[in-house]
Amino acid sequence: MTARFHFGTNLKMHTAAPETRAFVTALAAQTVDAGVRRFVIPPYTSLQGLAAIGAPAGIEIGAQNAHFAASGAYTGEISVGMLAALDVDLIMIGHAERRALPTETDDVIARKVAAVLGGTPDLLLCVGERMAERRALEFTDVLRRQLISALGSVRPEQLSRVQVAYEPVWSIGESGVAAEPEDITPAIATIRSVLAELFGKAARAVPLLYGGSVNRDNCADYAVLGGIDGLFVGRAAWSADGFGAVLARGHEAWKLRGGDTVEAGGSDADRAGM
Ligand code: PGA
């Protein structure tokens, strides 16, 4: 199986339902290679409207979070089943802006992961270290802890529904600093190695996306990194033009690296020493 290039955007708390619908409609008009998988993760309030019109072919729709319980006395929360009823394709768990909340602990994230995989949508698990953890050279431990805690109970038959986004917390959003590719290479190696420990050879097929201040000028530098299968973009992909441009440049760079000619997840050479 040759790998696909995964490309998605997190719209955070930025678009009301009509804006999301216009955005997704504009993306649907763009031409992309068959080897590209696109997804959009809008606020909850956009999901019902997208379900009503039916998301355009070739664009998956995700939710930004879900509760771990199927139902109950959890005012303001949304369950995996409710999202599945809106035809959501994937659910993101553990985004840095949620991990920043005191209630979003590793344990809660693990329960949410179990809830997602107990349902029908796919999982997008976000992991990443904070700046203090990087400065203290603790990022390896942090990533290992986040991955083992969240994915330690994933069963082999669920693995094809799992994808991981590595987003260093210090690189995300307005106050973030775009990472130097050489600074994130060891983190990517750590993630690949923990996934291999957990799932053996099957881990190679788990897509690993990079995110955090990715834009049209730097996307190629990240897409060429061994072990990376796609990009997860915020601000630079919130316009249809931006989305299309970052996708096209990132995909081109990834293909030049040979990302599309090898087994999903990158080549064995990419994995050497990981
Ligand atoms: P950014 O956001 O690209 O605007 O830094 C990335 C994210 O939060 O997923």
Closest ligand 1 atom, residue 172 Cα: 5
Residue with the nearest Cα to atom 9 of ligand 1?
A: 234
- 3-class DSSP assignment, residue 79: strand
Check residue 263 and give its pLDDT: 57
Which of the listed residues 15, 64, 172 should we mutate to test ligand 1's pocket, taking the one with most ligand atoms within 8 A of CB? 172
Burial class (CB in 10 A: 0-12, 13-18, 19+), 163: buried
- For the whole model, what pTM was predicted? 0.95
Cα 220 to middle of ligand 1, angstroms: 16
Contacts of 268 (CB under 8 A, 6+ apart): 262
For the annotated catalytic residues, the residue numbers are 95, 167
In the chain, count of helices (H) and strands (E)? 11, 8
Specify burial of residue 35 (Cβ count, 10 A radius: 0-12, 13-18, 19+).
middle
* 234 CB near ligand 1 (under 6 Å): yes
Q: Please give the chain's pLDDT, 274 residues, in tens.
A: 568 999 999 999 999 999 999 999 999 999 999 999 999 999 999 999 999 888 788 999 999 999 999 999 999 999 999 999 999 999 999 999 999 999 999 999 999 999 999 999 999 999 999 999 999 989 999 999 999 999 999 999 999 999 999 999 999 999 999 999 999 999 999 999 999 999 999 999 999 999 999 999 999 999 999 999 999 999 999 999 999 999 999 999 999 999 887 655 444 444 433 4
Binding site membership of 242 for ligand 1 (Cβ less than 6 Å): no
Cα 112 to the center of its chain, rounded Å: 15
